[in-house]
Each structure stands twice: as C-alpha cells, then as structure tokens.
Amino acid sequence: MSEKTVTTLAGALKINQTLTTLDLGNNEISYIGAGALADALKVNQNLSTLDLRENGIECEGVEVLFDALKFNQFLTTLNIWNSSWCSHIPNYRLTTRRINLLTLNFCFFEQPISSRI
C-alpha cells in the first residue's frame, strides 16, 4: 500500500463514524504511513480494532502509533505482529490500559534479548 493511499485512508479515519474494525495487514506500511494512522487514531472515536500485522513497521513507526494511543480512548485491540520491537514498548502498556489485546508475536528486537534483561 503506497504512502499516499495510507495517508488518504488515515484522513478518512479522522472523520469515521461507523467503521469499528480495520485490517491493514500485509501492506508494507512505512513510517510515514504509520504516522498518518497515528494522527488519525488521536481523533478517531469509533475504531476498536486495528490490525497492522505483517507490515514490518520500524521502531519509529511503532513508537508514533503507541504515542497516539495516549489520546485514543476507543481502540481496544491492536495487532502489530511482525513489526520492529523497541526495547521500551512494554512501558506503553502503563499508559494504554484500555488495550485488551495487543499482539506482538514475532516482533524483531532492536538489540539482543540478553542485553535487555
């Protein structure tokens, strides 16, 4: 999915009043696309499930998505399976308690596990 397509879709999400589930899995969403989705999540009041699995979103993109969740009171399920894993992402759980299901399987670590323990 191109950056322009994701940005256009994110614009629509800002005014969405009916869509509750969005599956964008397997679309190679870039940092710019993740940023556009994050901006939409800050204002969207209907989306409860967002599936971004298999996009390989880099650490910076994952960070902006998690930052957006601080403003979003409605999203309860987020799947970022197979994205970059930033070592500080577990700390976001403290500020996003309304997320009931956060799927992180097969996220790639930016540093070896032994150096984070």
The confidence score (pLDDT) of residue 115 equals 38
State the Cα–Cα distance between residues 24 and 55, nearest whole angstrom: 8
State the Cα–Cα distance between residues 75 and 45, nearest whole angstrom: 8
Mean pLDDT of 11-32: 94
Q: Confidence class of residue 56 from pLDDT cuts 50, 70 and 90?
A: confident
Output Rg (C-alpha) for the chain, integer angstroms.
13
The confidence score (pLDDT) of residue 90 equals 54
Each residue's pLDDT tens digit, 66-109 = 889 888 888 888 888 777 656 556 555 545 556 655 555 445 54
Please check whether residue 74 is in contact with residue 45, taking contact to mean a CB–CB distance below 8 angstroms: yes
Superfamily for domain range 3-115: Ribonuclease Inhibitor (3.80.10.10)
Predicted TM-score (pTM) of the model is 0.79
Each residue's pLDDT tens digit, 62-77 = 889 988 988 888 888 8
